[in-house]
Amino acid sequence: MQLSLTPVWTSRVQDHAMALDLPTDRIVRLRISAGDEFAPDYSYAIANDSWLGTDVEKEEGEDVTVLKTESLAIEVGTEPFRLRIADQDGHVRFETTDDGIEFTKEGICFIRSIGNAERIYGMGEQGETLDKIGHSFRFWNSDHSHHVPNRRQYCEIPFSIHMTPDGVPPTALFLDNPGEVNYDLGSNDPSVMRMTARTGDFVLWILFEDSIKELLSSWARMTGHMERPPVWSLGFQQCRWSYFPDKRVREIAEEFRTRRIPCDVIYLDIDYMRGYRVFTWHSKRFPDPDKLLRDLRDQGFRVVTIVDPGVKIDEKYEVFQELSKAGEAFIKREKDGEYLVDRVWPGKCHFPDFTNPEVRLLWGEYQNRELLERGVAGVWNDMNEPALFDHQDFAHPASQHDFGLNRRHEEIHQIYGLTMAQASYEGFLKARPQERPLIITRSGWAGIQRYSMMWTGDNHSTWQSMAFCLQLNLSMAMAGVPFVGCDIGGFGGDCEAELFARWMEWGVFQPFCRVHSCRGTRDQEPWSFGGSVERIARQMIELRMRLLPYLYACFVHAAETGQPINRPLVCEYPNDAAVHRLGDQFLVGPDILVAPVLFPGHDRRLVYLPPGVWYHFWSDQRLEGGRWEIFEAPLSQPPVFVRAGAVIPMHPVRQHTGEPEPRETYLDVYPGTQLRGGLVEDDGLTQAWRNGIESRITFTGWQDDLELRLYLSEPDGEYRSARDRWTVRLHTEHRSVASVTCNGVKVPFERDGSVVTWSMDEERAAIEVSVAFQR
Ligand code: MIG
């Protein structure tokens, strides 16, 4: 979008223009022009141009200007260039070196001092570790995965969170340049971070907040929040390259139901198309897609189809004809204006220019006519880096519409996937304005979360790849994309039984929970590895279905605040140095901790439990945190823990989310000094929640030596769930209960092992529970 910021300071360094903006009291933007003057002020990342602004006091000195706002003191000097920003507590939050800009052949290079023991998070699909300090990266979306196992570069996001362990609040940086960008995060000189933009203006946003979580909220306000997703997208999903013909798809569906393994979604990969022509159906393999989709829907399955950007050059093919007629529809060669050609699955193709609004419109219409109107539930955008067969990148300099700016493709390369997802998203909302879009994409850039969720592309069926995926999910979340997940079981290569089981064990805790595998590899359905693995897979998927109310609340929270669903521990425990580089265990929402087993043959693993009390999920054993401990983890019991004080809403198992809403909701209470939890309910499918057709209930309470109190708030909102009963399960091994009263009335309870259970009627009013412990 075009931005309307007015600089509070301008200057020139050598032949380049410079400007500082203060979009809010806590955001600074610095621009340095590549040429004499600034390019028009457009951003593909920013989605919200209503800035609060701030009062500024300006002191202009000889070679340093000081700008003061309520929260920040900004010192900027031009000869040589330096920038230093301190907060109201006097902490230096951002500082360049004494000569902070170099104009080089590689572009504009900006040099910032790295803090003492600094940690760097975020950046999406970049790097092998959660903390990126000491690495260097090129940001250039591409399909590298086949060559380098621990590299994934479909969606790189130049948004990074910088934290030092000295208690100074973290700061975030966003280099708003959609061309090639290079970061050196102290790999050559540990004291400096160099950020280079090869083309275009250097536009750096600097965010100042008090915590990582607030930085992520601020980032979501700037670039857009993810949508509240359709509830079926939280269900289990099965994919493979490819299920065809239609008969095979029906068999897979049937297997899930007869084996009683819950499943919500089946995917159609590229073989459903006629010769890989986008928006067509293969007439022999899928002679009647409408009927197939209807029948599957009757069994409770949604179908998501893949869509690739390359449009086959074929005069007899309608999509090609019509887009060709539209003019400016495809990416053009700069030198002669001819449409660029490269090969992908359909053969020789042109590549739609999704920065052109008319192309997005047409694309959306085809998507709706050929897919959504036939009953397809969601759209899976692949190959949109874009990936090409003949070349790594387009063979010729090319140009795009680009807000009418007509920049070269290379200057906006990073947003190809973003704009394809935008086309898909806008199209979806046109076809079904009352529903919630489900768009999946492989490539993306800053802001992708407002259109689409991400899966992390082609991983491998190896232990190493599995461990790597975990970290990727966290790095995506720390770059503002909460709805993310990897192909469970691994895409490339043959999976083996133990790996599949271990992958399922934590894969079900990902926001996106899908099994997928490459063509030519062995079967990879939950039942493909024998009875015992099938039992584990079923049990884990069932656990996910039970946890749906908890997960859904996490998704809604993510949509409203930008908070991750799978969180690195540092999000919640920033002051605990033990978690600063911890990327092989994660939190699901604030209360569940998962520590996957990542090596073959291991039946235990070392886990770090953050300070506080935790409960072992399978045994209810109460544990003191703030330490490392080795836990037994036989197959089927991955280390999972619940934070003391958590109230986790759960449902009975259903085979898919379209089964009738349960009449009963469980509240799993893990006693702690303060209780907390929440439930958000709505129809799961439509936009009606925007008009208040939802229901929110919060759980609070406390516990002392004698008593535990639990409060359920009165439901807020108009939605009425099917619930007529709550069943509370109090996980307390070490305390015996004397009595339970609900709103002053004694209720019967039972103890089974470590769990004390009782039920309460749903009255659509507040409930106050008191549990008296035996002295
Ligand atoms: O060139 O559509 O990442 O999930 O199965 C490979 C076939 C193209 C790459 C995707 C993968 C998908 C595959 N695609």
Residue 272 makes CB contacts below 8 A (sequence gap 6+) with: 242, 244, 281, 282, 285, 286, 289, 305, 306
Which ligand 1 atom is at minimum distance from the Cα of 145? 3
CA of 688 to the centre of ligand 1 (A): 35
Q: How far apart are CA 709 and CA 471, in angstroms?
A: 38
* 3-state SS record for 403-427: HHCCCEHHHCHHHHHHHHHHHHHHH
Q: How many CB atoms lie within 10 A of CB 320?
A: 21
Say if CB 338 and CB 332 are below 8 A apart: yes
Q: What is the pLDDT of residue 733?
A: 86
Q: What is the pLDDT of residue 339?
A: 95
pLDDT confidence band for 146 (50 / 70 / 90)? low
Active-site entry in 353, 458, 505, 591? 458
Pocket test for ligand 1, best of 143, 155, 383, 459 (most atoms within 8 A of CB): 383
Say if CB 435 and CB 230 are below 8 A apart: yes
Residue 316 makes CB contacts below 8 A (sequence gap 6+) with: none
pLDDT tens by residue, 15-69: 999 999 999 999 999 999 999 999 999 999 999 999 998 999 999 988 899 999 9
CA of 638 to the centre of ligand 1 (A): 30
Say if CB 426 and CB 360 are below 8 A apart: yes
pLDDT confidence band for 209 (50 / 70 / 90)? very high
Alpha-helix residue ranges (DSSP H) falling in 462-530:
463-477, 497-507
Q: In what order do the strands lie in the sheet with 767-773?
A: 674-681, 695-703, 707-712, 767-773, 737-742, 745-747
Pocket test for ligand 1, best of 306, 307, 345, 388 (most atoms within 8 A of CB): 306
CA of 237 to the centre of ligand 1 (A): 16
Distance of CA 769 to the CA centre of its chain: 37
pLDDT tens by residue, 556-579: 999 999 999 999 999 999 999 999
Give the E-state strand segments of 660-736 in sequence order: 664-669, 674-681, 695-703, 707-712, 725-731
Which ligand 1 atom is at minimum distance from the Cα of 387? 1
Q: How far apart are CA 397 and CA 737, in angstroms?
A: 74
Burial level of 458, CB count in 10 A (0-12/13-18/19+)?
buried
Whose tokens are 């994919």? That residue is: 239
Q: What is the pLDDT of residue 144?
A: 78
CA of 256 to the centre of ligand 1 (A): 24
Q: How many CB atoms lie within 10 A of CB 599?
A: 12
Q: How far apart are CA 203 and CA 200, in angstroms?
A: 9
Q: What is the pLDDT of residue 426?
A: 98
CA of 382 to the centre of ligand 1 (A): 7
Q: How far apart are CA 158 and CA 161, in angstroms?
A: 10
Residue 327 makes CB contacts below 8 A (sequence gap 6+) with: none
Residue 109 sits at φ, ψ, to 5 deg, of -115, 130
Give the closest residue (by CA) to ligand 1 atom 8. 383
Q: Which residues line ligand 1 (CB under 6 A)?
A: 241, 269-270, 306, 382-383, 442, 457-458, 491, 516
The share of the chain scoring above pLDDT 70, in percent, equals 99
3-state SS assignment for residue 117? coil
Which ligand 1 atom is at minimum distance from the Cα of 242? 5
Q: What is the mean pLDDT of residues 261-289?
A: 98
Pocket test for ligand 1, best of 142, 143, 152, 241 (most atoms within 8 A of CB): 241
Pocket test for ligand 1, best of 268, 458, 465 (most atoms within 8 A of CB): 458
| CB burial readout 344-377, b (16+ within 10 A) else e | bbbeebbbbbbbbeebbebbbebbbebbbebbbb
Which ligand 1 atom is at minimum distance from the Cα of 241? 5
- Candidates 470, 566, 575; CA nearest to 119 is 575
Pocket test for ligand 1, best of 145, 269, 381 (most atoms within 8 A of CB): 269
Whose tokens are 């990342």? That residue is: 45
Q: How far apart are CA 231 and CA 302, in angstroms?
A: 11
Which ligand 1 atom is at minimum distance from the Cα of 308? 2
CA of 372 to the centre of ligand 1 (A): 21
Cross-strand pairs, 205: 29, 174
Say if CB 633 and CB 604 are below 8 A apart: yes
Number of H helices, E strands in the chain: 11, 49
pTM: 0.98
Residue 147 has pLDDT above 70, yes or no: no
CA of 515 to the centre of ligand 1 (A): 13
Distance of CA 650 to the CA centre of its chain: 23
Burial level of 336, CB count in 10 A (0-12/13-18/19+)?
exposed
DSSP of 161-172: EEE-TTSPPPEE
Based on the residue annotation, tell me whether 382 is a catalytic residue of this protein: yes
Q: What is the Cβ-side half-sphere exposure of residue 573, based on CA atoms within 13 angstroms? A: 22
Pocket test for ligand 1, best of 143, 239, 266, 382 (most atoms within 8 A of CB): 382
Residue 142 has pLDDT above 70, yes or no: yes
CA of 559 to the centre of ligand 1 (A): 28
Which ligand 1 atom is at minimum distance from the Cα of 239? 5
pLDDT tens by residue, 294-315: 999 999 999 999 999 999 999 9
The share of the chain scoring above pLDDT 90, in percent, equals 95
Active-site entry in 180, 385, 584, 694? 385
pLDDT confidence band for 326 (50 / 70 / 90)? confident
Q: How many CB atoms lie within 10 A of CB 724?
A: 11
Task: Please give the structure tokens belonging to residue 424.
Answer: 């898909």
Which ligand 1 atom is at minimum distance from the Cα of 518? 5
Task: Please give the structure tokens belonging to residue 399.
Answer: 């140009």
Give the closest residue (by CA) to ligand 1 atom 12. 241
Active-site entry in 143, 382, 498, 682? 382
Q: How far is CA 718 from CA 683, 688, 690, in A?
A: 11, 10, 11
3-state SS assignment for residue 356? coil
Based on the residue annotation, tell me whether 664 is a catalytic residue of this protein: no
Cross-strand pairs, 666: 650, 727
pLDDT tens by residue, 60-108: 988 899 999 999 999 999 889 999 999 999 999 999 999 999 999 999 9
Burial level of 247, CB count in 10 A (0-12/13-18/19+)?
exposed
Please compute Rg for the chain using Cα positions: 27
Give the closest residue (by CA) to ligand 1 atom 6. 383
Give the closest residue (by CA) to ligand 1 atom 2. 270
CA of 341 to the centre of ligand 1 (A): 20
CA of 240 to the centre of ligand 1 (A): 9
Give the E-state strand segments of 309-428 in sequence order: 311-312, 332-333, 342-344, 347-350, 378-381, 398-399
DSSP state of 584: S
Give the E-state strand segments of 91-246 in sequence order: 92-104, 107-113, 119-124, 136-139, 156-163, 171-175, 181-185, 192-197, 202-208, 237-238
Q: What is the pLDDT of residue 298?
A: 98
CA of 202 to the centre of ligand 1 (A): 34
Residue 769 parent element (H or E):
strand 767-773
pLDDT tens by residue, 151-163: 789 999 999 999 9
| CB burial readout 606-615, b (16+ within 10 A) else e | ebbbbeebbb
CA of 183 to the centre of ligand 1 (A): 29
Cross-strand pairs, 702: 674, 709
Which ligand 1 atom is at minimum distance from the Cα of 516? 4
Based on the residue annotation, tell me whether 458 is a catalytic residue of this protein: yes
Q: What is the pLDDT of residue 62?
A: 84
pLDDT tens by residue, 436-483: 999 999 999 999 999 999 999 999 999 999 999 999 999 999 999 999
Task: Please give the structure tokens belonging to residue 652.
Answer: 């009975």
CA of 741 to the centre of ligand 1 (A): 56
Q: What is the mean pLDDT of residues 493-507?
A: 98
Residue 293 has pLDDT above 80, yes or no: yes
Say if CB 421 and CB 481 are below 8 A apart: no
pLDDT confidence band for 486 (50 / 70 / 90)? very high
Q: Is the dihedral of CA 567, 569, 575, 581 positive or negative?
A: negative
Q: How far is CA 657 from CA 75, 499, 540, 660, 717, in A?
A: 55, 27, 16, 8, 22
Task: Please give the structure tokens belonging to residue 186.
Answer: 């102290």
Q: How many CB atoms lie within 10 A of CB 679?
A: 24
Which ligand 1 atom is at minimum distance from the Cα of 240? 5
pLDDT tens by residue, 389-422: 999 899 899 999 999 999 999 999 999 999 999 9
Q: What is the pLDDT of residue 14?
A: 85
Give the closest residue (by CA) to ligand 1 atom 5. 241
Which ligand 1 atom is at minimum distance from the Cα of 487? 4
